[in-house]
């Protein structure tokens, strides 16, 4: 089965009691881009954005932010 990268930003924000707007302010990333990451409605991810998010949220373990999952073929 193909593998898909899942961005776990929604879970991270919930666990830290942060809003998308707050994260946008912390990182300087547009709210629309944050929203796309939260909803996993993206095909390409900016490494620069991931670095800014990880730095702002003090994430040092990539597993907290990204998960590799098997993609269902339907």
Stated pTM of the model? 0.84
In which element (H, E) is residue 42 found? Answer: none
On the question of pLDDT at 74 being above 60, the answer is: no
pLDDT of 73 reads 58
In angstroms, the CA 74 to CA 64 distance is 28
- Per residue in 10-61, pLDDT (tens digit) is 999 999 999 999 999 999 999 999 999 999 888 888 999 999 999 999 999 9
Q: Is the pLDDT of residue 72 over 90?
A: no
pLDDT at 53: 96
For the chain, give every domain's residue range: 3-68
CATH (residue range 3-68): 1.10.260.40
């Amino acid at each position: 089965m193909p593998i898909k990268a899942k961005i776990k930003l929604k879970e991270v924000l919930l666990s830290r009691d942060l809003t998308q707007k707050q994260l946008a302010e912390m990182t300087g990333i547009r709210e629309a881009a944050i929203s796309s990451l939260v909803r996993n409605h993206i095909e390409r991810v900016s490494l620069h954005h991931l670095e800014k998010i990880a730095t702002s949220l003090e994430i040092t373990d990539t597993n907290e932010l990204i998960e590799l999952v098997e993609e269902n073929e339907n």
